[in-house]
Amino acid sequence: MSYKVSIVVEKDEHGYYAYCPELEGCQSQGDSLEEVIENIKEAIELYLETLSEEEIKESVSKEILTTTLEVKVA
């Protein structure tokens, strides 16, 4: 069975960091964008294997909203 989940990827001076907001503690890192996406996909698959079908449905049904805000700094 396949599921759609959200991931957040951040880049810093050390490479890339990714996490899945629906799955608390599910995170990974990589030296490139391709590597971090591959790594977080594997981490999510392994994480889901530890959950019951009911827990999976509850976790992946969370609504994740994203937006961009413009803020002013004095």
Residues 12-57 pLDDT 10s: 999 999 999 999 999 999 999 999 999 999 999 999 999 999 999 9
* pLDDT for residue 18: 98
- Class of domain 8-60 as given by CATH: alpha beta
* pLDDT for residue 26: 97
d(Cα 69, Cα 74) in Å, to the nearest integer? 16
* pLDDT for residue 64: 87
Domain boundaries, the chain: 8-60
d(Cα 72, Cα 74) in Å, to the nearest integer? 6
pTM value is 0.85
